Amino acid sequence: MNTPGTRRPVTPLNAIRLVAKRELNTRLRTRAFLFGTAVILVVAAGYFLLQATLLSNSGHSKIGLTGQATGISDQLKAAGQQVGKTIDTVSVKSEEDGKEEVKNGDLYALLSGSASDLQAYTKSNLDAQIHSALDSVAQQQVLNAELLEAHLDGPQVLSTASAARVSVTSITPADPDRDQRLIIGVIMVFLLYMSITTYGTLVAQGVVEEKSSRVVEILLSTVKPWHLMLGKVLGLGLTGLIQLVILAGAGLGMATASGTLSVSGVAISTLLWGLLWYILGFFLYATVFAAAGSLVSRQEDAQSVLTPVTMVLVIGFIVGLNLMLQSPDSSATTVLSLIPLLSPVLMPGRIAAGLAPGWQIGLSIVLTIALIGVLTWLAGRIYRNAVLRTGSRVRLRDALRA
């Protein structure tokens, strides 16, 4: 039974929970978190709206026809469909009127002249696919005229020639969603990199701030250093996780609604894998960030101890992103994604792209968890020995020996 005036001892779990709750409540209520999240969502909404508009307009082209060119309207529409373009044609009174409409942007292009000698007028460069369709129409008209002159049935010959096709058999069935999977993977790689870097740095800055203001001395009179460090990591990690869920969930929802993304099942799976790898990646780096922050007592000195940690992330992100874009299924990408320090950034992208077999995913998770255990022990030792030492920067070797 507790006597009046005595303090009930704080259990390790309760100490970690209280510190984490303090960090979570403090960060979630800051203007930086709320404003930053809102700005990113607004920018994302604008981007997907723009993409949806571009997608809806990219396949449609309005072309004006004047003079003898008005007779090829149907052929032009058919040729456009063959190259994946929807061509709308309108008759224009004169060539001068058509050129004016092209200048004003009312027409994508103007066609004049005979079918076998077409002249196209555009405001800038002519789309390569539309150019190909126009060439096809002109060639068909010339060929048809030559066949008629040779007393052959032009339409029948053209129909027979058009029916000729090359038979293609894929040895390995192609994934129709491969491109979208890869795009989702790259987006998730970027989000994970930004989240881990941002909130990992906040852990270090928070440690330095508490150390310089001597708040850490008050806190350590109640809780142990290891509990304080882990609670801080948990609190900021949950803050980053909440923001990642908001951004990724809203982004995938907007992308699906706008038609920019059609593989919603892959998107949801990618989000779930991304959340798991965020948790693993954040714990992997955040404890290191906390240990690095405990080595200095001023914010001005923090960058010197954080640079080696952030450089690993930056190099891994740049190299990994380039490999993901250029050769996502190469041996180099596979090996790098299995290295624990790079797995949280690269493996989710490979999973989204459908390039990571189950054994590689399992191996990378096991290796990452093992490294988390080692780094947490080392970081806890450094934090415990350095967090109460103020003044000049504590050398890493001294922090490990103390």
Looking at residue 2, its pLDDT comes to 46
Look up the domain containing 71 and give its range.
60-159
277 in the same domain as 184: yes
Note down pLDDT in tens along the chain; length 402 residues: 444 444 556 687 888 888 888 888 887 777 877 887 888 778 777 766 665 565 555 556 777 777 766 767 777 777 666 666 677 777 877 778 778 777 877 777 777 776 667 777 777 676 677 777 777 777 776 766 666 666 656 566 656 555 544 555 554 555 656 666 767 777 777 777 888 888 888 888 888 887 777 777 777 777 787 788 888 888 888 888 888 888 877 777 777 676 666 555 666 777 788 888 888 888 888 888 888 888 887 777 778 888 888 888 888 778 777 777 777 778 888 888 898 888 888 888 788 777 888 899 999 999 999 998 898 888 888 888 777 777 677 777 777 775
The count of structural domains within the chain is: 2
Residue 197, token pair as written in the block? 């870097």
Among candidate residues 104, 129, 159, the one where a domain is terminated: 159
Q: How far apart are CA 358 and CA 144, in angstroms?
A: 58
Looking at residue 172, its pLDDT comes to 52
**Residues 6 or more apart in contact with residue 270 via CB below 8 angstroms:** 184, 185, 188, 348, 351, 352
116 in the same domain as 208: no
For residue 280, CA distances in Å to 244, 356, 399 come to 14, 18, 26
DSSP 3-state percent helix, strand, coil across the chain (nearest 5): 70, 5, 25
Residue 16 lies in a domain: no
Q: How far apart are CA 297 and CA 293, in angstroms?
A: 8
233 in the same domain as 103: no
Query: 66 with 113: CB under 8 angstroms?
Result: no
Query: 103 with 149: CB under 8 angstroms?
Result: no
Range list of H helices, 105-169? 128-149, 154-162
Residue 37 lies in a domain: no
Looking at residue 365, its pLDDT comes to 94
Among candidate residues 133, 159, 185, the one where a domain is terminated: 159
Partnered with residue 60 across adjacent β-strands are 86
One DSSP character per residue, 154-209 reads: HHHHHHHHHT-------SS---TTHHHHHHHHHHHHHHHHHHHHHHHHHHHHHHHH
Looking at residue 361, its pLDDT comes to 92
Residue 32 lies in a domain: no
Phi-psi region of 60 (alpha: psi -120 to 50; beta: other; left: phi over 0): beta
